[in-house]
Amino acid sequence: MTLARVWAPRPTTVAVEIDGARHPMRLVGGGWWTGPELPPGARYGFLLDDDPQPKPDPRGRRLPDGVHGLSEATAPRRARVDWPGRELRDGVIYELHVGTYTPEGTLDAAASRLDHLVELGVAFVELLPVNGFNGAHNWGYDGVAWFVVDEDYGGPDAYARFVAACHERGLGVIQDVVYNHLGPSGNYLPLYGPYLRDGTANTWGDSLDLREPEVRRYILDGARMWFEEYGVDGLRLDAVHALHDTSPAEGGEHLLATLSRETDALAARVGRPLTLIAESDLNDPVMFTSRNDGGYGLTAQWSDDYHHAAHVALTGETTGYYADFEPLSALAVVATRGFFHAGTWSSFREREHGVPLGDDVEAWRLVTFVQDHDQIGNRAAGDRLSASLSPRRLAIAAVLAVLTPSTPMLFMGEEWGASTPWQFFTAHPEPELGKATAEGRIAEFAKMGWDPDTVSDPQDAATFARSKLDWSELDAEPHRTLLAQYRALIALRAAEHDLHSPRLGELSATVDEQARRVTLVRGRVRVRLNLGDAEWVAGGAEQVLFRTSDDVSGDPVTLPADSALVSRVTK
């Protein structure tokens, strides 16, 4: 059993209610209070000053009745990890949302589909946030109980089973976590202490007050929990550019550097690799630059620029933030230099943006994708590329997704061209919050020039239902052929040394803007894309490693319109 314990510097008195019985707590210093032991399975909550309604434990591990209910005491958990782990380098990530990955929408149901991922050839499963949120379903970024696995997904025991099932199949687990804001419903942290910083709100809500040591520790301990208690292999850190941390300017260490330092120490202790991936809008290598060289020392970071360039090349869309990526040369830039905006003008931001990457930067430090939850779900209709592209173009998209020089990431269903959309959905029980969310989405899309009438109501249960994958599509065309192509490309990437992630200085590309042709050079391997209307006869003879259609030839090198060829120079 563990003691009732809570950091609560704001109230003057604190008591704990355990199975209906009230027990006073004792202030022990630094804002911490302690009380009696919590028997496993007991329902408990903290009574702050004169409030008669007990509040859930900010560090509690289970909320059986949701974020407004009492916590349930759990026995201390320590993961037993029976596999050596794996490095991020050259592994393919598969991003999925538990609630829409299967009809059941649970962790146990997701575990029953893991063999599909093994056959696909991916190395890591990345789960969108699973921590406690209010309502029956949402994307997970409105979480308020950071130490809890949401009960709708199966709770903590189901999560532990899922991780173990992944490890049994040689799959690593990356958990998406959100430390830059809290959701709008069920956030009781401000009643306990100064968790939020006044005047520093970001796009999604008030920022965490990272000047407060106990708030920093709250985040760091939450991150460590996933590694120690569940055995996950990595964390994807949501929108780290929204972390408001002034510590470096005051002679301290940035939270991300502290997190990477503690994670590296834990990795050494447990004897397996532990990965930290930043979602960053800054286009700044400070994220993965070593701490000794003034960086934060994270493992890798997402690069939206690759998505934007690939999306424009495939679809021709140039509205909003896609405008700068209209030239086909943008695709060559992101494929060989990592960032497109690297100290250059961003028309969408209306300022210069980004920092150049050096030739010695290893390309795998960037996680790239052609589709992901944000770039699909934040479209007005939540439409995937499969809704508008031909099978031939989807095959080219597969080449761009898998044979990126960086670390590839796929979004669930992408591998078979799922016809189901993936839309923004919520289930806020509070009518005013649901209304505000829906109106906010319409206003957001108006900025992108999309018709408000095409925006699905996130509160409509049908929006959630439409977003679930249809697994029956795997056995039907054209899905079956595209799935085979993804499997072949992932296997080729693993087998062909020249397709492993190089340093950026080893990459080159050529572009014919008028004919819409791209050649990416990877050692002796050539990746050619013909996005134009005319046949491309490059001449010469090369060994075919992969072709998107039977009418593509390696002798002589010939690509019809809308095709791709991966070949090896033999002379």
Do residues 237 and 179 make contact, with C-beta atoms less than 8 angstroms apart? Answer: yes
Radius of gyration of the chain (CA): 24
User: CB within 8 A of 106, min separation 6: which ones?
Assistant: 98, 152, 153, 154, 158
Q: Would you list the DSSP string of 480-527?
A: HHHHHHHHHHHHHHHH-GGGS--BGGG-EEEEETTTTEEEEEETTEEE
470 catalytically annotated? no
C-alpha dist (Å) from residue 13 to 130, 213, 214, 490, 505? 33, 22, 19, 59, 61
Q: Which of 57, 95, 279, 496 is catalytic?
A: 279
3-state secondary structure of 530: strand
238 catalytically annotated? yes
CA distance 266 to 69: 33
The number of beta carbons lying within 10 Å of the beta carbon of residue 409 is: 27
Q: What b/e readout covers 312-333, taking b as 16+ CB neighbours within 10 angstroms? A: bbbeeeeeeebebbeebbbbbb
- Report CA 189 to chain centroid distance, whole Å: 25
Q: How far apart are the first and last CA of the chain?
A: 70
Identify the DSSP state of 50: T
- Name the one residue in this structure whose structure tokens are 């009380």: 35
Identify the DSSP state of 405: S
**Burial environment of residue 181 by CB neighbours within 10 A (0 to 12, 13 to 18, 19 or more):** buried
Amino acid at site 326: E
CA distance 483 to 488: 9
Residue 261 main-chain phi, psi, to 5 deg: -65, -45
Q: Which of 238, 305, 496, 542 is catalytic?
A: 238
Identify the DSSP state of 362: B
Dihedral class, residue 294 (left if φ above 0, else alpha if ψ from -120 to 50, else beta): left
- Name the one residue in this structure whose structure tokens are 């090369």: 542
User: CB within 8 A of 285, min separation 6: which ones?
Assistant: 295, 355, 357, 358, 361, 365
Catalytic positions, please?
238, 279
